[in-house]
Amino acid sequence: MNTPSTLEPNPVREPVNPQHKLPAQPEEKHRSLWWLWLLLLGVIGYGGYRGWQFVQTSKPAPSAGPAGRMALRPTPVVAVAARSGDLPVYLRGLGSVSPFNTVTVRSRVDGQIMKVAFTEGQLVHEGDLLLEIDPRPFQVQLEQAQGQLARDRAQLADAKVNLDRYKALYEAKVIPKQQLDTQDASVKNFEGAIEADQAGIDSAKLQLTYCRITAPLTGRVGFRLVDQGNIIHASDPNGLLVITQLQPIAVLFTIPQDDLQPVLKKLRAGAKLPVFAFDRDNVTKIATGTLVTVDNQIDASTGTSKLKAVFDNSDFALFPNQFVNVQLLLDTDHNVVIVPAAAIQRGPQGTFVYLVTDANGKKKVSVRPVTTGNSEGNRIVVKEGLAPGDVVVVDGGDKLVEGSLVDVREPKRQGTNAAANNSSGATQGPTAAPDGSAKSSDVLRPPAGAKPQGEPGQRHGARRPGP
């Protein structure tokens, strides 16, 4: 048995663990630290932002508040100068044209229409022949009355002769007193019959006059209601034709009850208030008249009072039942300061304007409190706060504050701003709403959303400013 001299140890192999990993390589170590780099970058960015904030807050502000920032560049605005002049005060209302007189012509006798002497729509004058009714029946009645009168006159003459004879016989004591009295009564009876015959003659002549139907007034004839040849009666309800008086003509219109007392005060003082009638669009003036009277009561359902004006209507511009817009000239403010209504601003302290001033060659605006008065159209009276020639902003005021630099531009000739150049002239547009009065002079800037005063729309009458 051979025995090996040298025994080689057998290597012992350790079992392999499947979860055991090899040591990480350098690249894998860098990949596992990516989140540390991301955190570091975030810290550096936050530190830079905080540093930038510190630098910005440490710089001195160029100006305090929005006023200083707005003053850095001029704001384009439209401005006009306040003017001195007269401002009429109108009361406006809706009205309709009413004929001063309307006559339905009827026949006063029965008979057949023999002639129609007018045409439909004709302008007739008082006394003009309109229709003729057959006069022959009434002519016969006249002749009968005249014959009866002649017979009664002859009988009266005979009775008077017999009366004279009876008087002589009575004085001679031939006949009794009773016979004389009977003859005297017979004479008076015939005298009464003659008077009745004369009345019959006058009645027949009147009937003949009624056969000629004439115009009772000057006016326009409407449609013919009865044709020639028809038999008409005095009791017919519809009449023969209608005549409407056009000269003069009346206009009935209404105003709010709050405006009634100033009108009554003027009427009691004997003032003649002019009234202007405009077309449906309230643009073209149709006629000029005078206020006549005011109704004796206020309409409780509408709160309005009815007024009546009379117009000469020489050109027949007004027609019955025509709709018109009426303007009643109540008063006129003389030598007042007038500005466009768009220049008036409203704030917590009252009404104010932006006044344009020139300082060192730069145009700025300042807030100027004002007290307003009556308004007419797009113009308004400034009682206190402005003088003639002061330049005020009428467009662009919503972007302004105290001390803002402005670039003044001329108003356009057309549109709303065109009326600013004519602020001293008369206008016929709708009336602007009244403004209150400024109670303090410490207005610095308008409230958020403040807008210039415009024209709120036409009402039945112009309102005078409240207290």
Same domain (yes/no): 305, 252: yes
Same domain (yes/no): 306, 180: no
Domain final residue, candidates 202, 221, 244: 244
Domain final residue, candidates 332, 353, 368: 332
Give the DSSP per-residue string, 140-183. Answer: HHHHHHHHHHHHHHHHHHHHHHHHHHHHHHHHTTSS-HHHHHHH
Same domain (yes/no): 262, 154: no
**Has residue 315 got a pLDDT over 60?**
yes
Q: Region 399-413: what's the mean pLDDT? A: 82
Same domain (yes/no): 262, 316: yes
Residue 301 within any structural domain of the chain: yes
Of 193 and 462, the one with more pLDDT: 193
Nearest to 326 by CA among 274, 394, 366, 263: 274
Residue 289 within any structural domain of the chain: yes
Residue 233 within any structural domain of the chain: yes
Same domain (yes/no): 118, 240: yes
Neighbours of 366 (CB within 10 A): 15
Residue 464 within any structural domain of the chain: no
Phi first, then psi: give them for residue 423, nearest 5 degrees: -70, -15
Residue 280 within any structural domain of the chain: yes
- The pLDDT tens digits of the residues spanning 63-87 come to 445 555 544 688 888 999 999 999 9
**Residue 173: which domain range?**
135-210
Residue with tokens 């004709």: 122
Q: Are 83 and 186 in contact (CB under 8 A)?
A: no
- Rounded Cα–Cα distance for residues 295 and 291 (Å): 12
Lowest mean pLDDT across 99-113, 269-283, 306-320, 410-424: 410-424
- Residue 309 sits in a domain whose CATH number is 2.40.30.170
**Tokens standing for residue 57:** 């807050």
Same domain (yes/no): 251, 313: yes
Q: Are 327 and 90 in contact (CB under 8 A)?
A: yes
Question: What pLDDT sits at residue 57?
Answer: 64
- The pLDDT tens digits of the residues spanning 250-277 come to 999 999 999 999 999 999 999 999 999 9
Residue with tokens 């007042």: 336
Kind plus residue range of the DSSP H or E element containing 81 = strand 75-81
Question: What pLDDT sits at residue 39?
Answer: 82
Residue 149 within any structural domain of the chain: yes
For the chain, what percent of residues have pLDDT higher than 70? 78
Same domain (yes/no): 263, 156: no
Residue 216 within any structural domain of the chain: yes
Q: Are 204 and 142 in contact (CB under 8 A)?
A: yes
For the chain, what percent of residues have pLDDT higher than 90? 48
Type of residue numbered 332: T
Same domain (yes/no): 216, 120: yes
Same domain (yes/no): 311, 270: yes
Question: What pLDDT sits at residue 22?
Answer: 47
**Count of structural domains, the chain:** 3
Q: Give the 3-state secondary structure percentages of the chain, helix then strand then coil, rounded to 5.
A: 30, 30, 40
- The pLDDT tens digits of the residues spanning 209-224 come to 999 999 999 999 999 9
Question: What pLDDT sits at residue 40?
Answer: 82
- Residue 124 sits in a domain whose CATH number is 2.40.50.100
- The pLDDT tens digits of the residues spanning 42-55 come to 888 888 887 777 77
Domain final residue, candidates 162, 185, 210: 210
- Rounded Cα–Cα distance for residues 243 and 320 (Å): 12
**Has residue 3 got a pLDDT over 90?**
no
pLDDT tier for residue 462 given thresholds of 50, 70 and 90: very low
pLDDT tier for residue 173 given thresholds of 50, 70 and 90: confident
Same domain (yes/no): 149, 175: yes
- Rounded Cα–Cα distance for residues 159 and 34 (Å): 161
Average of per-residue pLDDT values in the chain: 80
Same domain (yes/no): 141, 129: no
Give the DSSP per-residue string, 214-233. Answer: E-SSSEEE---SS-TT-EE-
Residue 86 within any structural domain of the chain: no
- The pLDDT tens digits of the residues spanning 444-454 come to 333 333 444 43
Of 415 and 141, the one with more pLDDT: 141
- The pLDDT tens digits of the residues spanning 87-145 come to 998 999 999 999 989 999 999 999 999 999 999 999 999 999 999 999 999 999 999 99
Same domain (yes/no): 147, 224: no
The structure's pTM equals 0.60
DSSP label at residue 321: T
Question: What pLDDT sits at residue 105?
Answer: 94
Lowest mean pLDDT across 23-27, 33-37, 111-115: 23-27
Of 441 and 325, the one with more pLDDT: 325
- Residue 202 sits in a domain whose CATH number is 1.10.287.470
